[in-house]
Structure 1
């Protein structure tokens, strides 16, 4: 999975590590695919991060299609191989058009038919490119989704940037991943 981290062995796991693994496996994810076997070497970080991740993935108030769109924008910005590999099929299943996902992957400007998709893309892209969101984009997002969901969107983008950094630093791949969506 990663040549930069030691192989994790459940037989020698600490009680804290076992508790994190149990929480992840019994939670909405049900698997350890992603950064979790990297974070497990710091069980306190792993526990906090996996709980934040469960919220950011499942409870932001955004429809799944829009959450997954934001995750794909993040994965592409960071060239996070495993993040894209894991979330691309989820995004398509949630209704994101494949041509939009492909444009994001290759760094092209997508053509959107859905205004919400365009707004989420613009919000995430402005934040990643300028480290800010324009007043116009912010106002449009708040008018459409409300303050709480916009706050949650920022949290989602930040969390998945953390995931991408973890995956990239430790050169982690997803379970079953044999192809790379980005040049390595």
Structure 2
């Protein structure tokens, strides 16, 4: 980690309330290194916690679509900590091992392994992450498959996890930079 983790529990009542909200979101698990990096500024940590908590729990987009997109963001941005955290969640959400292996290896156009929906989600993730602008053709495909709300949810998911991966990599949270991304067991 390029800066020390904020390890001490805050004493200021307002900051303590933020700390407690983040702990409640992670419950029953402890705070994770990402939280401890963000807590250098409790207000920013609070906003981050609220945004990501809503993305994770209030979306109508399928969890499998969300997680495959997050995993591909991790691959595209070379963020092994993000991959390690989300690859098992993708499997738990119903993404097959074959699809996840294709994502890890960059074979995201393989129609023999991926569904048309997965290919479109992954292409959206690539365009949004690497090119920033998403083609009208791809957007039309997504709009034919998803509601406007779900298109927004996919967009905010990809954008938010790009933010997360850039934060993780820039600060080398958990000293994961340069580590190989591997399939979960």
Q: Quick one: distance in 1 between partners of 2:126 and 2:180?
A: 22
- RMSD between aligned residues: 2.3
1:103 counterpart residue number: 102
**Cα offsets for 1:48-102 (capped at 9, x unmatched):** 1111001112222111111101100111111111111010001011111222222
- Tell me the TM-score normalised to structure 1 length: 0.85
Q: Quick one: distance in 1 between partners of 2:163 and 2:91?
A: 23
Q: Quick one: distance in 1 between partners of 2:118 and 2:135?
A: 17
Question: Against the structure 1 CA distance between its residues 118 and 109, is the aligned structure 2 distance closer, same or farther, given a 3 Å change threshold?
Answer: closer
2:135 counterpart residue number: 134
How many residues align? The count is 176
1:8 is aligned to 2:6: yes
* SS in structure 1 of the partner of residue 174 of structure 2: coil
Is contact 2:5–2:37 with CA below 8 Å preserved after alignment? no
1:25 counterpart residue number: 23
Question: Against the structure 1 CA distance between its residues 34 and 105, is the aligned structure 2 distance closer, same or farther, given a 3 Å change threshold?
Answer: farther
**Shift in Å, 1:34:** 5.2
Structure 1: runs of 5 or more not aligned = none
* SS in structure 2 of the partner of residue 79 of structure 1: coil
1:65 counterpart residue number: 64
Q: Quick one: distance in 2 between partners of 1:76 and 1:171?
A: 15
Question: Against the structure 1 CA distance between its residues 16 and 41, is the aligned structure 2 distance closer, same or farther, given a 3 Å change threshold?
Answer: farther
**Shift in Å, 1:173:** 2.3
Runs of 4+ in 1 over 3 A off after TM superposition: 11-17
Question: Against the structure 1 CA distance between its residues 14 and 106, is the aligned structure 2 distance closer, same or farther, given a 3 Å change threshold?
Answer: farther
Matches for 1:151-162 after TM superposition, within 5 Å: 151-162=152-163
Matches for 1:45-84 after TM superposition, within 5 Å: 45-84=44-83
Q: Quick one: distance in 2 between partners of 1:153 and 1:57?
A: 11
Is contact 2:9–2:16 with CA below 8 Å preserved after alignment? no
Q: Quick one: distance in 1 between partners of 2:13 and 2:180?
A: 35
Is contact 2:67–2:89 with CA below 8 Å preserved after alignment? yes
Q: Quick one: distance in 2 between partners of 1:136 and 1:96?
A: 25
